Amino acid sequence: MGGSGDIKLTKDGHTLLTEMQIQNPTASMIARTATAQDDITGDGTTACVIFTGELLKQAERFLQEGLHPRIIADGFDLAKARAIDFLETFQVKVDATDRDLLIDVARTSLRTKVHKQLADHLAPDLVDSVLLVKQEGAPIDLHMVEVMHMLHKSDLDTQLVKGIVMDHGARHPDMPQRLENCYILTCNVSLEWERSEVTSGFYYKDADQRQKLVDAERRVTDDQVDKILELKRKVCPEGSGKSFVVLNQKGIDPLALDALAREGILALRRAKRRNMERLTLACGGDALNSLDEMDEDCLGYAGLVYEQQLGDEKYTFVEDVRHPTSCTMLIRGPHNHVIEQIKETVRDGLRAVRNVLDDEAVVPGAGAFEVACSAHLKEYMMEVKGRAKLGVQAFADAMLCIPKVLAGNGGHDAQDTVIALQEAHQEGKYAGVDLETGDTLDPMKAGIYDAYTVKRQSLHLT
């Protein structure tokens, strides 16, 4: 939406106000509504803005005729309560474990944000990622779906990695770049010389004493490395087809890297803390702060670890993990603008799938609910006494803005489409907008669903 007086949403769904909007309380109200909608449900911000604007437009029509704003507000409150009650009867209870249904939900959300081909490509991956991190008896933590990105020639190369992707690689040229049947050692141990944390001094009389001091410092690191090598030889005997990977949160000096490389160990240093935490959840094992009591039970497992290099950037993939309770959406795109757009699309798609899993219900989409609710409110209007029914009428007319916008976006006549939808609804059918033809369709058969939480929250915020 453009124009200096319109609402502007950033790519993360939050609201920006121009100077004119700050001075305009109406624009500020719409902005706060959209922000609250995004914060709570993660979807439906555009529909919320359109519906709120249409409500104000309908209210202005009666205000110009001399109707008091308080009366219109009372009518809106009555209509909102009735619409929420109607939503409870209009929702459709579903089997939340039905993967095909969840893909349809994700696809419906994604196609409003990116082109059709990319939306259809992303939908199955988003559903699989949410199902992967879903734990019985616990709320779904979408933070366990890590979103990574890399510059690549096509956005259709975006993929789900059922494991971990780290944006750094090995620091030794002789280390292997692809390993299978890997034991994973996750540790936070310094394998390099470190400056003392307290003020101290070391004095020596001759070169021999200096060399002894250097050797003693080196021996501390070498002992740590020897412990790793000993464990590697124990769990990965020669000819077993098993391999060993070290992921260290602290540094590894060149001599230690060289010793590990000679044993065929892939070692990553200065790994990010969030990656270390997710690795233990995905691969199993323990994150060690000391190598003194290290044994096989402390190790995690991954079926495949490999390194991929794009230009100067290195990425390490850890796949086929033991306990895949965390995963990575690897977003690829030709430039940063596309990558940021896909990131926000993935964020909204993940929350759309989570909403359905939490609600175990969907609402027929394509404007079907709005048409049915508008007709229901017009029937309810006859039960309301006094001029408050005019507020109910304004609310009912505003509900039709969604199918009108859908028809207009598809290049069809909005009035003809709305009339066709109302006629189909009178025949007892779910009636949604077919964007390709402008005719009506059954959204349940077409796989077009809205999230129940999104619709309910949108009504509550009006």
Residue 204 pLDDT level (bands cut at 50, 70, 90)? low
Two structure tokens written together for 15: 């609201």
Q: What is the C-alpha separation between 368 and 432, in angstroms, rounded?
A: 5
Of 12, 39, 223, 413, the catalytic one is 12
Is 12 catalytic? The answer is yes
pLDDT in tens, 104-117: 888 888 888 888 88
No. of helices (H) and no. of strands (E), the chain = 16, 17
| Phi, psi angles (nearest 5°) of residue 169 | -135, -165
User: pTM here?
Assistant: 0.73
Of 15, 41, 45, 158, the catalytic one is 45
What value does the mean pLDDT take over residues 298-322?
80
Is 100 catalytic? The answer is no
Q: Three-state DSSP class for 335? A: coil
pLDDT in tens, 130-188: 888 888 777 887 888 878 787 777 778 788 878 788 877 777 788 888 888 888 888 88
Is 221 catalytic? The answer is no
For residues 112 and 418, is the Cβ–Cβ distance under 8 A?
Answer: no
**Alpha-carbon dihedral angle through residues 443, 448, 453, 455, given to the nearest 10 degrees:** -60
pLDDT of residue 9: 45
What value does the mean pLDDT take over residues 241-259?
84
For residues 179 and 306, is the Cβ–Cβ distance under 8 A?
Answer: yes
CA distances from 183 to 28, 129, 177, 304 (A): 55, 24, 15, 10
What value does the mean pLDDT take over residues 306-333?
79
Candidates 115, 91, 82, 104; CA nearest to 368 is 91
Of 15, 33, 46, 316, the catalytic one is 46
Question: Is the confidence at residue 257, as pLDDT, over 80?
Answer: yes
What value does the mean pLDDT take over residues 48-61?
82
Q: What is the C-alpha separation between 421 and 403, in angstroms, rounded?
A: 9
E strand or H helix that includes residue 48: helix 45-63
CA distances from 280 to 224, 288, 302, 326, 417 (A): 21, 10, 11, 10, 55
What value does the mean pLDDT take over residues 119-137?
85
| Phi, psi angles (nearest 5°) of residue 35 | -65, -45
pLDDT of residue 201: 65
Residue 19 pLDDT level (bands cut at 50, 70, 90)? very low
Candidates 314, 181, 316, 294; CA nearest to 247 is 316
Two structure tokens written together for 289: 């702060």
Residue-range domains of the chain with CATH: 42-94+361-454 (1.10.560.10), 164-323 (3.50.7.10)
Q: What is the C-alpha separation between 16 and 32, in angstroms, rounded?
A: 10
pLDDT in tens, 216-243: 677 777 788 888 888 888 888 887 888 8
Angle at 145 between CA 144 and CA 149, to 5 degrees: 135
CA distances from 16 to 49, 162, 410, 462 (A): 13, 36, 28, 20
Q: What is the C-alpha separation between 442 and 296, in angstroms, rounded?
A: 57
Q: Three-state DSSP class for 242? A: coil
156 contacts: CB under 8 Å, gap ≥ 6: 117, 118, 121
Of 38, 125, 155, 348, the catalytic one is 348
For residues 343 and 149, is the Cβ–Cβ distance under 8 A?
Answer: yes
Is 358 catalytic? The answer is no
Q: What are the contacts of 249-255 at 24+ separation with CB within 8 A?
A: 249/187, 249/188, 249/273, 249/276, 250/188, 250/189, 250/190, 250/191, 250/192, 251/190, 251/191, 251/192, 252/171, 252/191, 252/192, 253/191, 253/192, 253/193, 253/221, 254/172, 255/218, 255/221, 255/222
- Helix 368-381, helix 414-426: angle, nearest 10: 70
